[in-house]
Amino acid sequence: MWRINNFLLMIVLAGLAAFGGYRAVQHILPDGAPKETATPEAEESQAPRDPAVMDTGRPMSPGLLAYEVEHYTLRHEILPETKSIAGSATIEFTALSGMDTLELDFDGVFSVSKVEGPGGALDFTKSPSKLFVTLGETLNAGETVAVSVHYSGKPWIADRAPWDGGFVWAETPSGKPWVATAIQGEGCDLWWPCKDHPTAEPKRGLEFFITVPAGLSAAGNGVLQNIIDLEDGRRTFHWKTALPTNVYGAALNVGPYVRLTGEYQSVNGSTVPLEFWAIEDHEEDAQALFDKEFPEALASLEARFGPYPWGQEKMGVAETPHLGMEHQTINAYGNEFRRGRYGYDNLFYHELAHEWFGNIMSVGNIADMWLHEGTATYADFAHTREVMGDAAFLTQKYTRYLGIKSCQPIAPPRQLSGDQTFDEKTGPEGDMYAKGAWVLYSLGFVMGEDKVERALRRLIYDTAEPHALTAPITPRQRTTDDFLAIINDEAGADMSWFFDVYVRSAPLPELNAEIDGDDLVLSWNTFSDADFPMPAPVRIDGELRRIEMPGGAARIEGGATAEVMIDPMMEILRKLPSVPTCAERKAEDAARD
């Protein structure tokens, strides 16, 4: 008797999840991370901000397009008692065309005391989201100038960091100040006057001079140059990164830190400095994580993708009062040293994976963020299989599958800002994580996981054999179309049909099965006219076969009387009865409300 046992595997996986005490979490979180909660400090009244300040990656004005950023120098005193900062930001920039005014994105709540250029004080005007500096003379294309903005004020306090960005003003368990930034969705203009767009990475990096109260330390991007002791007990930490830096990857971390240090021998033969800035309350737990998971995670990611990208500076982590963020060379970690359900600290691993996917390789259009998050989630799944085996791997994949909404494509073919990308009405929102990872594994079924991982290495390093590369490794900004071109080359075929359905369209395709006489007929429904020759794994009377489906359909002779299970190991992404459509999910949510 013919039967398709799609549900059997679901039941087994659900049983595995229940047996392990697993619980489903919001799909945009790494597995095992705590659910999001409001930041208590954010409940106090704050001055409303212009929507442009609270967004990032919006289309750039002619004024922003007139120059490129060479370098930022940030000099700030951190004042936890008043939850404020004071200091300056120096913007070194090169004119791309004639310009007499420097336009900067900047939170208008800050008080600007003066602006200085090479010849002294400069005139400026402000709006709620901009700072316009009159340069005093017209710069010609190719000329480079530095302008310093002196300012102070209370930066925006994050409501639910890192989901909602801003500053976090907290206390350690022992009651000492603990401060951090998380600005991915809102951008650098919440902190300093900048060019707030993902394409505007400072070409020569950033430099930080962070002054903190007595007893506290500041951990930052790049390499610690020195610590300046002031007479009243305050200290200034001087950090410098000479590398192009994704501006949301710049970070401020202040607290009563202990600094754990070590070294890691990279796959390319170089020695990578390791640093963990952990609060003093958690030194023992931090040491355990540092000793075990730092080298294990690096070895896993290097073996699969290539050498750690920033080995000439450091692989660093700072413990934070928010969950985490991929801050370049100083990843934020706030997972409280939980042992993940899959045998490792998933939050730590996920954020570290972003050094490859998000930092050395980044996107210029936030609509392509699945190339950051889907790839890092793919790496999570792969590491779970390394550590715990196939049962945990399949459980993790299926658990994350249940959160896919499919309301928007994971890579809409248009420019999107941060707000638009993380709103399910206009962008992929959380689907960039789980659906993005599933897309890569489905692609692996079509062309082989080895070729997909070759393509991912080419996406990062521009070579499929990067393991001997040494610093400096060139950062690259990529698009979905770039990845498709690499995939086409690795597959030796045009894979546009795959991307059109899985990446550029929202609904999950359905694989239908019907009896026709003695045969079983399989056919894809993509909810469009798209050609979709996606093969399918099918077990027929105990034999696993790959069924090719040219034209989106296939006939299995004698399948009507055979024991048939479609995709028994869940290798391909498709619509299953266990997940609602976008419309069904919205109706269910409305009914619960």
Residue 25: predicted pLDDT: 29
What's the rounded Cα separation, in Å, for the pair 83 and 137? 38
Name 477's bridge partners.
362
Residue 308 has pLDDT above 70, yes or no: yes
Q: Is residue 68 part of a domain?
A: yes
Q: Is residue 32 part of a domain?
A: no
Lowest-confidence range among 11-15, 46-50, 107-111? 11-15
Residue 21 has pLDDT above 60, yes or no: no
Residue 589: predicted pLDDT: 86
- Tens digits of residue pLDDT in 370-421: 999 999 999 999 999 999 999 999 999 999 999 999 999 999 999 999 999 9
Q: Which residue has the tokens 């640093």?
A: 275
Q: Is residue 339 part of a domain?
A: yes
Residue 125 has pLDDT above 50, yes or no: yes
Distance of CA 504 to the CA centre of its chain: 20
Q: Is residue 275 part of a domain?
A: yes
Q: Is residue 17 part of a domain?
A: no
Q: How confident is the model at residue 5 (pLDDT cuts 50, 70, 90)?
A: very low
Lowest-confidence range among 60-64, 229-233, 526-530? 526-530
pLDDT, average across residues 71-81: 98
Residues 6+ apart with CB under 8 A from 353: 301, 375, 376, 379, 380
Between β-strands 253-255 and 84-95, what pairing exists: parallel, antiparallel or unpaired? Answer: unpaired
pLDDT, average across residues 251-274: 98
Of 315, 338, 353, which residue constitutes the final position of a domain?
353
What's the rounded Cα separation, in Å, for the pair 329 and 70? 19
- Tens digits of residue pLDDT in 176-198: 999 999 999 999 999 999 999 99
Q: Which domain holds residue 164?
A: 40-353
Given a contact cutoff of 8 angstroms between Cβ atoms, the answer to whether 52 and 64 are in contact is no
Answer whether the bond into residue 321 is a cis peptide, omega within 30°.
Answer: no
CA 488 to each of CA 193, 368, 432, 481, 534: distance values in angstroms, whole numbers, following the listed order: 41, 18, 21, 10, 15
Residue 1: predicted pLDDT: 31
Could you tell me the CATH number of the domain that includes residue 567? Answer: 2.60.40
Q: Is residue 401 part of a domain?
A: no
Mean pLDDT of the chain: 93
* Count of structural domains within the chain: 2
Q: What are phi and psi of 28, to 5 degrees?
A: -85, 0
Residue 467 has pLDDT above 50, yes or no: yes
Q: Is residue 171 part of a domain?
A: yes
Residue 280 has pLDDT above 60, yes or no: yes
What's the rounded Cα separation, in Å, for the pair 451 and 447? 7
Q: Is residue 419 part of a domain?
A: no
Given a contact cutoff of 8 angstroms between Cβ atoms, the answer to whether 572 and 537 are in contact is yes
Residues 6+ apart with CB under 8 A from 478: 361, 362, 363, 368, 371, 459
Q: How confident is the model at residue 340 (pLDDT cuts 50, 70, 90)?
A: confident
Residue 31: predicted pLDDT: 64
Of 336, 353, 370, which residue constitutes the final position of a domain?
353
Residues 6+ apart with CB under 8 A from 363: 198, 369, 371, 372, 477, 478, 479
Could you tell me the CATH number of the domain that includes residue 344? Answer: 2.60.40.1730
Q: How many CA atoms lie within 13 A of 457 on its CB side?
A: 22
Of 323, 353, 383, which residue constitutes the final position of a domain?
353
Between β-strands 111-117 and 331-333, what pairing exists: parallel, antiparallel or unpaired? Answer: unpaired
**pTM metric for this prediction:** 0.93
